[in-house]
Amino acid sequence: MIISILCNIAILFVFKYYNFFTTIIIRILSIFHFNIHIQSFNHTLPIGISFYTFEAIAYIIDIYRGDIKAEKNLGKFATFIAFFPQLLAGPIERAKHMLCQFDEKHSFEYEKIKRGLLLILWGLFQKLVVADRLSKLVDTVFAAPNSYKGFEVIIASIFFTFQIYCDFSGYSDMAIGVAGVLGFELSRNFRQPYFSKSIKEFWRRWHITLCSWFKDYLYIPLGGNRCSTIKNYRNIMIVFIVSGLWHGSALNFIVWGTLHGIYQVIEKVLAPLKNRLIERFRIKTETFGYKLMQVLITFALVDFAWIFFKADSFKNAMRFIRNMFYFNPGVFMNGAIFKLGLSYKDFYVAVVGIFVILIGNLLQRKDDLYEKFLNKNMMFRWSTYLIAVMVIIIFGVYGPEYNPSQFIYFHF
């Protein structure tokens, strides 16, 4: 098991982290006046390597634990590892969930195909209409962190918060939809994360399959929460630092992961004080106002951490944060807000798109939106399909503001 895991990690390390760590080694040695040259490794990153490496490691550990039996058919195993709908950006599937599906007989099922096509349509809306449009403003501001201040920076950070969600959730929905059309079932990867009332809840709703992987194959083996308080905090920090490193070989990704680890540790440390204050002042925790406050605080913390994720370096992230604390409400009056990469029309389309996403998430949180929609009469359903297709074509494909961009998680 150890040899198999090390082989998988070694391949990932060479392609993704070799240059990062050799640069660190060279800089550390230069402090002590040792100047060495280490050959860099400049080859194209294999498609989906971060995702299928984790799938392979989970497969190995599951066999070792006796949770599954080794697959004797190389073709089925290879199909599981390279299953095309989710190869590039997940969801990160488990062998015990997928391998059995390759043994099943798949036939035409109208309901599965209809649900799959609806998911593809919703994913296209998220990606083409919302995420790609938001990316124009986000890329403009983040590319020049010293040129923008105050509300310009705040708006760019909020827009990126929704861009990365729509981009990644859109891909996941399309992957699940494509697999569904073929008769396969993939795991759900998002569950309305921006309505979370704590950072812990956020990570139960964001990139669910990755969080589940870290929980089962890193957090619990380290001891989880069945250990001393200090060791539990250590385990949380290790998981999130590794999560940051998994996303990218750069300091800003490590800081992003570390921040989320710190958030969770602080939540645990302050939980007793929070409960005492609630009891002392008789705060009604079931009221809408209290829940909204929790959601807004969580969103603000997540939004702040995303700055490090998006910035191309740690220094630029710090410049971006420093420029946030500048009061310039005039940008809303002098039209400067419409000079950040989006015209005023497309700016408003982007804002409307965000509200559509939030409303859709809110409705889905309370009920199974797909089931309710499919129960509507045929006229309503087909009118909605045609309107959705037209909206995606008009606002997502045509026009001077169309900005097709690669899926963000393709880089990982």
Give the residue among 159, 164, 137, 144 at the shortest CA–CA distance from 337: 137
- Tens-digit pLDDT profile for residues 27-47: 887 877 788 877 887 777 788
- Tens-digit pLDDT profile for residues 274-316: 989 888 888 888 899 999 999 999 999 999 999 999 998 899 9
What pLDDT score was predicted for residue 412?
66
Q: Which two tokens stand for residue 282?
A: 């008789």
DSSP-assigned letters across all residues of 195-214: G-SSHHHHHHHSSHHHHHHH
Which of 56-60, 307-311, 336-340 shows the lowest per-residue confidence on average (mean pLDDT)?
336-340
| Cα–Cα dist 308/257, whole Å | 9
What is the three-state SS of 131-179?
A: HHHHHHHHHHHHCCCCCCCCHHHHHHHHHHHHHHHHHHHHHHHHHHHHH
pLDDT band at 215 (very low <50, low <70, confident <90, very high): very high
Q: What is the DSSP letter of 125?
A: I
Does pLDDT of 400 surpass 60?
no
Place of tokens 């240059």: 19
Cβ atoms of 59 and 95 within 8 Å: the answer is yes
Give 384's contacts (C-beta < 8 A, 6+ positions apart): 373
Rg of the chain (C-alpha set) = 23
Residue 207 is among the residues annotated as catalytic for this protein: no
3-class state of residue 223 by DSSP:
coil
CB atoms under 10 Å from CB of 368, counted, come to 10
Give 332's contacts (C-beta < 8 A, 6+ positions apart): 151
How many helices (H) does the chain have, and how many strands (E)?
19, 0
What pLDDT score was predicted for residue 122?
92
What are the b/e assignments for 241-261, b being 16+ CB within 10 Å?
A: bbbbbbbbbbbbbbbbbbbbb
Which of 155-159, 174-178, 236-240, 321-325 shows the lowest per-residue confidence on average (mean pLDDT)?
321-325
| Cα–Cα dist 99/55, whole Å | 12
Cβ atoms of 204 and 272 within 8 Å: the answer is no
| Cα–Cα dist 356/162, whole Å | 12
Place of tokens 């807004």: 296
Q: Provide the residue ranges of all domains of the chain, joining segments of one domain with +.
A: 2-103, 110-411
Give the residue among 186, 191, 187 at the shortest CA–CA distance from 165: 191
What pLDDT score was predicted for residue 396?
77
What are the b/e assignments for 201-236, b being 16+ CB within 10 Å?
A: bbbebbbbbbbbbbebbebeeeeeeeeeeeebbbbb
Of 33, 37, 106, 247, the active-site residue reads 247
Alpha helices in 13-70 (DSSP H): 18-31, 49-65
Q: Which two tokens stand for residue 177?
A: 């939809």
